[in-house]
Structure 1
Amino acid sequence: MSSLPSRSRQISILLTVSCGFIMAMLDVTVVNVALSDIQHDFSVRLASLVWVVDSYTLTFAALLLLGGALADRLGARRVYVIGLALFIFASALCGAAGSVSILVGARLAQGAAAALFVPSSLSLLTESFEDRHVRAKIVGIWSAIVSVAFASGPLVGGVLVHRFGWRSIFYLNLPVGLVGIALAFAFLRPSRRKAHALDMPSHALVMIALAALSFVLIEGPGFGWSSPAIIGAALLVPFVLLLAIIRERRTQTPVIPAGLARNGTFWALNGIGSCMNVVVFGEIFVLSLFLQKVDGETALGAGIRMLPVMAVFAVANFCSGHLSARLGGRRLLLGGIGCAGFASLAATALGTRLPYGWLIVPIALVNAGIGFAVPAMTAAVMHEAGQRNANIGAAVLNANRQIGALAGVAGLGIVQHLTGDWAESLRIGFAIFVACLAIAFMLAWWRVHAAPKELGPGEASAAH
């Protein structure tokens, strides 16, 4: 395809590939403010609410690498459209769910669908704009749209739940997804297919390990940590991961190239990404329920009160590239993590002794610090991966960040089960965030020695 000089065509393609990513980002955060209403309608325990959030993250994380491989093998447009269609169907099931079990099953399908169309989005932009400068501009705008969608999730969810009920947050995906499919056929040409071996056993092993880990973290408090089911699942996780590592080393077509798999800095950066996502998604989960359970807010009220701390994250994301050019990626990464760590420590000390209006300050600083650090971390990952392994490097990072999100939500669920008090859970949650950020800081100090100075637009998009 040409470099598309027509501005209207550029906008049309941008809107086309944005439809899927907007739905994926909104579904990560929008459901949190609906949890209280879901619990009231179905009369379910806390573990079921955690499953509602983490079931989406589970399949999303486990299948991201497979989604990218399928996009190469079958063509990005075809996989993108298939993913959108599956997401529409799964969203309709979520909205019509008559029980929390059906809702969780439909959320699993949503995550699997998102894993298909999310990796295809950037591929489609790359294919559609051959001119490097035009592509950089378009990808930058696309990244901004992603940040806004992520930050506005709680507010959008609050408005929908308040006006139309919690089911509307899923039904909203139907018209958006249908528009995305129509636009894809209208403005995107069929993608070139690339030879790409699919190592299905490795993907299956990762899926089993994540499912077992989710079961342990979410159901452990209810079943009891000494129950045979929990112990068995806990032992299954390292065993299956060991099998996956052995298979990766012996197969001629590993999912992760050998050079990347042996790169210690690359894996340290992935660990940093996981730690930061524990903080971000654990915070969103516990804060949205704290505002509703303790402060008595409606879903709309919670969404409005969360908007400032979410907006700070997006603004810092946008400004990170300019600061990185001045300070260097390593300094920005360490500074951002350090700021978030000290702010989490302040939030832990303050607890709930002050009104939420005062707590906004340290919470906003946590998100600002992470907002500055995430693009710098992503640029460092892309630097380590190099051009040859850029796509797989971004996919591995995003998968590990989703694992961090899963662990953050499940971990805060465990805290709430142990304390039975949302106010105390918020305070302990920030203490956990201090520990996670301390680990991230040490990994950055130890392994990240020469992070790139400037975050390119294509790399910025991978930060989400």
Structure 2
Amino acid sequence: MPVNEGRPAMKITALAAGFVMAGLDATVMQVAGATIQERLNASLTQLTWAVDGYVLTFAALLMLAGGLADRVGARTVYLWGMAIFVAASLASALAPTIELLIAARLLQGAGAALFMPSSLALLVHAFPDPRERTRVLGLWSAIVSSSVALGPTVGGIMVSALGWQSIFLINLPVGLLGMTLTRRFVARADAGQKASLAVPGHATLIVALAALSFALIEGPQRGWTSAAVLAAAATTVIATALLLVRERRARTTVMPWTLFRGPRFAGANAVGFLFNAAFYGVLFLVGLYFQHARGASPLRAGLEILPLTVFLPLSNITFARISARFANGPLLSISLLVAAAASLAMAAISPATPYWQVALALAVTGIAGGIISPAMTAAMVDAAGPENGNVAGAVLNANRQVGTLVGIAVIGAMLAAAPDWTTGTAEAFLAIGIAYLVATVAAWRLIAKPERRAALVPAGPATAQPTPALSRH
């Protein structure tokens, strides 16, 4: 089928479809979880696997998928990922047991890992003019942010009206539309260099993440000293050590480790890991809390989560307006500190806590989160430089997904170990607040202070810094 080079709206729709599905699937499970537990007779540990299994394969395969797109072409890999994701969504909806749902969710994550990096590469290729591309990226980001923001509410409405299976069935028309439009309107991008994919390194990374997930998720149920959990913990350590040894000796590495020598790049990735662990940990937490501790229906829980997510796109727009006036480091540090304060305030939650106080804390966290995400991305781009922008973005995205994986697993473990939902929620909010505080320290010491030192050094030909405009996109 010949490609129609016009119709930019069709290109944007085609390439946003994957992100919309992935964004929805990352958040709708937060309100469907309690219903899935009841309908499939699942334990909290099994539900955590259903949520985290998706993130596990997504995080583990993301870097490998980026390299695969360079070899065979971004459009081909994008379509592969969309097809896998749609098939896995259908399998999720038809799953009669929690075990089959977990397997389908693992496959969903693999599909998302394929199409996510390819989507951005195709978007950049489809709009070569810098000015047009900037406008398109803004619209594309707004679509993606809106899908994440509306995910819990959409999930609550669909679960209440059509059943939990509907949150997966909605991916079928979206995915098929995205694939059709991609074939019709999105041209192939160059496949690029035929470089090695560092398959042994990626395989070792997958083993390390899978073992870590098993230890964190199964620990509360099996016991932290059980043979299986101890073996998983040992496997995590051994696989991580083997990966580091291989990365030092290999010609083709999984990660561009030289970039981590810069404090700002390392700081942005530390913040990314902690932010995703905290933010998605909260999403997982409050969806269960509202339904189990407060007796909310899926629809009501979706609406009650809305203060956390609805401000994300609005804060993204706010950041775009204020980023030219304030340095990323201080702005990022202040936003993280605000999120920490809101989370720590919820550590005193009790059955008598009125909803408006919970909503206020969630809203403050959401407003801060909408600034934290683009601010740390801008800090990462400034630190890596435009010549390393693509690989640096892939590293940050993969690192953030690992943070999501760990955050959900840790919150699930804390809830499983707690005597009741209110106590577990209070302890989880305390842990989340501490994570935000650690991220605040990392942002201040590794990003804000080096930024200030760099600003005091006159830029010569060999030390020129990226332009301020770069950090605003």
Judge conservation of contact 1:344–1:431 (CA < 8 Å) in 2.
yes
Distance 1:220 1:350, change over 3 A: closer
Tell me, in whole angstroms, the C-alpha distance in 2 between the residues paired with 1:277 and 1:455: 26
Judge conservation of contact 1:375–1:455 (CA < 8 Å) in 2.
no
The range that moved more, 416-425 or 50-59, is 416-425
Alignment match, 1:364: 363
Q: Paired residue for 2:148, among 147, 150, 153?
A: 150
Unaligned runs of 5+ in 1: none
Q: Does 1:379 align with 2:378?
A: yes
Q: Which amino acid aligns with 1:312?
A: F
Tell me, in whole angstroms, the C-alpha distance in 2 between the residues paired with 1:54 and 1:105: 11
Once the 2 structures are TM-superposed, how far is the Cα of residue 209 of structure 1 from its aligned partner? Answer: 0.4
Alignment match, 1:175: 173
Give per-residue Cα distances to partners, 1:252-308, cap 9 Å, x unaligned. 122223421433432222111111111111111110111111221111111111112
Judge conservation of contact 2:266–2:446 (CA < 8 Å) in 1.
no
Alignment match, 2:259: 260
Q: Does 1:125 align with 2:126?
A: no
Tell me, in whole angstroms, the C-alpha distance in 2 between the residues paired with 1:406 and 1:110: 15
Q: Paired residue for 2:112, among 105, 111, 114?
A: 114
Q: What is the SS of the residue equivalent to 2:387?
A: coil
Once the 2 structures are TM-superposed, how far is the Cα of residue 132 of structure 1 from its aligned partner? Answer: 0.8
Alignment match, 2:451: 450
Give per-residue Cα distances to partners, 1:337-391, cap 9 Å, x unaligned. 1111111122223444321122211221122222212211111111122222211
Q: Does 1:338 align with 2:337?
A: yes
Judge conservation of contact 2:307–2:360 (CA < 8 Å) in 1.
no
Structure 1 residues 419-458: aligned runs within 5 Å: 419-448=418-447, 449-450=450-451, 456=470
Judge conservation of contact 2:415–2:428 (CA < 8 Å) in 1.
no
Q: Which amino acid aligns with 1:313?
A: L
Give per-residue Cα distances to partners, 1:166-193, cap 9 Å, x unaligned. 0111111111111111111100122211
TM-score calculated relative to the size of structure 1: 0.94
Tell me, in whole angstroms, the C-alpha distance in 2 between the residues paired with 1:420 and 1:405: 25
Distance 1:428 1:454, change over 3 A: farther
Q: What is the SS of the residue equivalent to 2:311?
A: helix
Q: What is the SS of the residue equivalent to 1:48?
A: helix
Give per-residue Cα distances to partners, 1:136-163, cap 9 Å, x unaligned. 1101100111100011110111111111
Structure 1 residues 213-224: aligned runs within 5 Å: 213-224=212-223
Tell me, in whole angstroms, the C-alpha distance in 1 between the residues paired with 2:312 and 2:240: 33
Once the 2 structures are TM-superposed, how far is the Cα of residue 23 of structure 1 from its aligned partner? Answer: 0.4
Distance 1:359 1:257, change over 3 A: closer
Alignment match, 1:410: 409
Once the 2 structures are TM-superposed, how far is the Cα of residue 403 of structure 1 from its aligned partner? Answer: 1.2
Tell me, in whole angstroms, the C-alpha distance in 2 between the residues paired with 1:444 and 1:210: 25
Give per-residue Cα distances to partners, 1:208-229, cap 9 Å, x unaligned. 0000000001000111111111
Q: Which amino acid aligns with 1:229?
A: A
Q: What is the SS of the residue equivalent to 1:53?
A: helix
Alignment match, 2:303: 304
Between the two proteins, the alignment pairs up a number of residues equal to 454
Q: Does 1:10 align with 2:8?
A: yes
Q: Which amino acid aligns with 2:358?
A: L
Once the 2 structures are TM-superposed, how far is the Cα of residue 333 of structure 1 from its aligned partner? Answer: 0.5
Alignment match, 1:294: 293
The range that moved more, 375-384 or 345-354, is 345-354
Give per-residue Cα distances to partners, 1:70-112, cap 9 Å, x unaligned. 1111111100001000111111110010111110011000000
Tell me, in whole angstroms, the C-alpha distance in 2 between the residues paired with 1:423 and 1:454: 46
Alignment match, 2:206: 207
Q: Paired residue for 1:27, among 20, 25, 37?
A: 25
Tell me, in whole angstroms, the C-alpha distance in 1 between the residues paired with 2:67 and 2:191: 11
Judge conservation of contact 1:347–1:363 (CA < 8 Å) in 2.
no
Distance 1:436 1:315, change over 3 A: same
Alignment match, 1:184: 182
Q: Does 1:247 align with 2:275?
A: no
Once the 2 structures are TM-superposed, how far is the Cα of residue 42 of structure 1 from its aligned partner? Answer: 1.3
Tell me, in whole angstroms, the C-alpha distance in 2 between the residues paired with 1:454 and 1:316: 20
The range that moved more, 269-278 or 203-212, is 269-278
Judge conservation of contact 1:74–1:193 (CA < 8 Å) in 2.
yes
Structure 1 residues 83-122: aligned runs within 5 Å: 83-122=81-120
The range that moved more, 214-223 or 303-312, is 303-312
Judge conservation of contact 1:376–1:455 (CA < 8 Å) in 2.
no
Once the 2 structures are TM-superposed, how far is the Cα of residue 5 of structure 1 from its aligned partner? Answer: 9.4
Q: Which amino acid aligns with 1:14?
A: I
Once the 2 structures are TM-superposed, how far is the Cα of residue 206 of structure 1 from its aligned partner? Answer: 0.7
Unaligned runs of 5+ in 2: 453-465
Alignment match, 1:317: 316
Q: Which amino acid aligns with 1:353?
A: A
The range that moved more, 326-335 or 313-322, is 313-322
Judge conservation of contact 2:265–2:384 (CA < 8 Å) in 1.
yes
Q: What is the SS of the residue equivalent to 2:51?
A: helix
Distance 1:432 1:124, change over 3 A: same
Distance 1:239 1:177, change over 3 A: same
Structure 1 residues 28-43: aligned runs within 5 Å: 28-43=26-41
Tell me, in whole angstroms, the C-alpha distance in 1 between the residues paired with 2:147 and 2:22: 9
Q: What is the percentage of aligned positions where both structures have the same residue?
A: 40
Judge conservation of contact 1:329–1:453 (CA < 8 Å) in 2.
no
